[in-house]
Amino acid sequence: MAAEGASANGTTPGERHAIGISFGNSNSSIAYTTNEDKAEVIANEDGDRQIPSILSYVDGEEYNGQQAKQQLIRNSKNTVAYFRDFLGQNFKSIDPTHCHASAHPKEHDGTIAFIIQDKEEGGPSVVTISEVATRQLKRLAQSASDFTGKQVNSAVITVPTNFSEKQKAALTKAANDAGLEVLQLISEPIASLLAYDARLEAKVADKIVVVADLGGTRSDVAVIASRGGMYTILATAHDYEYAGVQLDKVLQDHFAKEFIKWNTTDPRENARSLAKLKLEAEATKKALSIGTNANFSVESLAEGIDFASTINRLRYETIARKVFDGFNRLIEGVVKKAGLDVLEIDEVILSGGTSHTPKIASNMSAIFPPTTTILAPSTTPTAINPAELQARGAALQASLIQEYEKEDIEQSTHPAVTTVKHLTNAIGVMTITGDSDKGLFTPIIAAETAVPARRTIHIATPKEGGDVLIKIVEGGSHIKVSKPEPKTKTNGEKSKGEDGSDDSDEDDSDDGPEDVREKVWKVGNVLAEAAIKGVKKGGKIEVMINVAGDLAVTVTCREVGGKGGVRGNLAAP
């Protein structure tokens, strides 16, 4: 294959045709960038944008995606599923739970392999995990090539943040064997964030983002400081207990019990019945993310008995509450791990297929303050399909770097370039609120900003103009907890009325008035003072702070539209 030769040597920028690949345990997706630099997810030949990462072999023929998933019922022994996390691992450190209903992983020559009948003739063959991954990636690349009409020869692939170097190397090798040059491996949460930040309407801002990637078999959450379009991961958490399959499990159990009510057999005891139950439970779960009611019907579920039932969303949310609570704890935990408070989170991005579930998004709205944007389909109409985020992010990154030489990419991603100092405190300027003389801290550069950094703000001056003082200070944020002031009469009456109607609501009646938590700035070190004299009436002051790589600071202040201005330096500490 010509592409294989090319990938070994590294393709030159001119002949590259790159896509973004999100290669997941349960599903994979592929995306490309259109001529307008917009990322689009590619549907495979079956029309799926979420391609199940499953390979199945029937009479020597390979099936992939949804077709292979159907084989889990009849041909589970020759079907390989949930294998992504096994890449680059040894047999001791893998969790084979999810593979119970498909081909079982075996130890082979220090690596992991599956014993499957993948040829028409002869006995079953040993297929190593690397080979399985290569076959899967080959299918993905083929689908992308068919769609775009050009041979895809390079890709940006997303990986979880806790992927070890060995796993990354194994994935790169598998991709190379599949004829793909790996331009870069990028973290999954960053890819999701990039997909949102690349939208035309998105503005470059300083914000703290929680990216919750809720997948089929695992949930990964990361807290990311996004500073002027540069991303720093502050904390991550990984969970294998609360994920999409647990939600399926809840529905499986629910319907199995219902089946037992009418029939004596338990469909969970028969492997084939269980597989059918599982597939339909997943479909029902997806239906419940869209509608408030969903059907569950399986022909010949067990002992030839057909089964049909319905479930509404409320019921589903009740029975799955334990799992939803697990997601909440996970996300709250990682925010704490980053040393932050929920009030400091500006954005929550829900990514991964499980994020379609409306309850998870509404739970997020409850945890985070109203100022936090929850980017999920059920809370934000303009949200991008959470299952497509990673592939889109990867495709965008691919389009950004595919013109660079391989060497350039390697040099730019070198730790010497990526490891930089981050500010511990915010830098800001003191302003005054309306009438009080007390100073108020106004941040210019946020904490956790990578240096070198440069920010500019425009600040208003007193109405009459004149001479103003610019005091540059460091500031730290902390959370102020205060009891709410006694309610005014009208408010009290109103709340009484509410209480009366909602007597059963325990939360309100027991806890009493909740503490009010707010984020306040604490003024720290004074860094510099500058004076601008003779400001015009209604004029504005532009303050530009430039922090160099060695933490030396340059402050430039001038009146907007005016000449000259004040410039001063602070030496590096």
Partner 1 sequence: MATHTQVNLPLPVLPETWSGEKDFKAIGKLSAATQRSIEPVGPHFLAHARRARHKRTFSEDDRIQAQENVKKVEDDDSGEISEPEDPMMLSRDAKDWKSQDHYAVLGLSKYRYKATEEQIKRAHRKKVLRHHPDKKAAAGSTEDDSFFKCIQKATEILLDPVKRRQFDSVDEHADLEPPTKKQLKEGKYYKLWSNVFKSEGRFSRVQPVPKFGDEKSNKEDVDTFYNFFYNFDSWRSFEYQDEDVPDDNENRDQKRHMERKNNNARKKKKTEDSARLRRLVDDAMAGDERIKRFRQEANASKNKKRLDKEAAEKKALDDAKAAKEAEAKAAKEAEEKAKAEREQGKKAKEAAKAAVKKNRRVLKGSVKDANYFVSGVAPASVIDAVLNDVELVQGKIDADETAALAGKLNGLKIADEIKGVWSSEVKRLVSAGKIKDSDVKGLA
Site residues for partner 1, window 411-440 (CB under 8 A)? 411-413, 415, 417-425, 427, 429-434, 437, 439-440
Residues 6 or more apart from 46 whose CB is under 8 A from it?
A: 65, 66, 67
Neighbours of 397 (CB within 10 A): 24
Which residues, numbered 328-367, are part of the site for partner 1 (CB under 8 A)? none
Contact segment (CB under 8 A) with partner 1 among 93-101, 274-282, 488-496, 547-555 equals 547-555
Shortest Cβ 569–partner 1 spacing (Å): 7
Which residues, numbered 434-473, are part of the site for partner 1 (CB under 8 A)? 434, 437, 439-440, 442, 444, 448, 450-452, 454-463, 466-471
Q: Which is nearer to partner 1, 140 or 468 (CB)?
A: 468
In 433-465, at which residue ranges do the beta strands (DSSP E only) sit?
439-445, 453-460
Query: Residue length, the chain?
Result: 573
Shortest Cβ 201–partner 1 spacing (Å): 14
Shortest Cβ 390–partner 1 spacing (Å): 12
Q: Which is nearer to partner 1, 403 or 514 (CB)?
A: 403
Q: Which is nearer to partner 1, 126 or 432 (CB)?
A: 432
Integer angstrom CA distances of residue 401 from 13, 182, 212, 409: 9, 11, 26, 7
The site for partner 1, by CB under 8 A, has a size of 94
Which residues, numbered 298-317, are part of the site for partner 1 (CB under 8 A)? none
Q: Binding residue for partner 1 (CB under 8 A) from 92, 261, 533, 563? A: 533
Amino acid 429 reads V
Which residues, numbered 486-525, are part of the site for partner 1 (CB under 8 A)? 524-525
- Beta strand 51-52 with 206-214 is unpaired
Which residues, numbered 204-233, are part of the site for partner 1 (CB under 8 A)? 204, 224, 228-233
Distance between CA 443 and CA 428 in Å, rounded? 4
What the block records as the tokens of 218 is 């695992």
Q: Which is nearer to partner 1, 37 or 502 (CB)?
A: 37
Distance between CA 143 and CA 140 in Å, rounded? 5
Q: C-alpha angle 433/439/445, rounded to 5°? A: 95
Q: Which is nearer to partner 1, 78 or 192 (CB)?
A: 192
Q: Which is nearer to partner 1, 112 or 155 (CB)?
A: 155
Q: Which is nearer to partner 1, 231 or 259 (CB)?
A: 231
Shortest Cβ 420–partner 1 spacing (Å): 6
| SS3 at position 509 | helix
Contact segment (CB under 8 A) with partner 1 among 116-124, 280-288, 382-390, 550-558 equals 550-558
Distance between CA 3 and CA 152 in Å, rounded? 8
Shortest Cβ 221–partner 1 spacing (Å): 16
Q: Which is nearer to partner 1, 92 or 203 (CB)?
A: 203
Which residues, numbered 383-412, are part of the site for partner 1 (CB under 8 A)? 393, 397, 400-401, 411-412
Phi first, then psi, for residue 24 (nearest 5°) are -105, 175
Q: Which is nearer to partner 1, 345 or 430 (CB)?
A: 430
Residues 6 or more apart from 340 whose CB is under 8 A from it?
A: 208, 223, 234
Which residues, numbered 227-266, are part of the site for partner 1 (CB under 8 A)? 228-234
Helix (H) or strand (E) holding 157: strand 154-159
Shortest Cβ 437–partner 1 spacing (Å): 8
Contact segment (CB under 8 A) with partner 1 among 38-46, 98-106, 121-129, 538-546 equals 538-546
Shortest Cβ 460–partner 1 spacing (Å): 5
Integer angstrom CA distances of residue 41 from 69, 192, 386: 21, 13, 12
CA-closest candidate to residue 231, choices 201, 209, 203: 209
Which residues, numbered 177-196, are part of the site for partner 1 (CB under 8 A)? 184, 186-187, 190-191, 194
Shortest Cβ 475–partner 1 spacing (Å): 11
What the block records as the tokens of 440 is 């108020």
Q: Which is nearer to partner 1, 146 or 518 (CB)?
A: 518
Shortest Cβ 255–partner 1 spacing (Å): 42
What the block records as the tokens of 540 is 């504005």
CA-closest candidate to residue 423, choices 443, 400, 401: 443
Instruction: Calculate helix-pair angle for 244-262, 321-337, nearest 10 degrees.
Output: 170
Shortest Cβ 187–partner 1 spacing (Å): 6
Distance between CA 518 and CA 341 in Å, rounded? 10
Shortest Cβ 147–partner 1 spacing (Å): 24
For residue 507, count CB atoms less than 10 angstroms from its CB and return exposed for 0-12, middle for 13-18, buried for 19 or more.
exposed
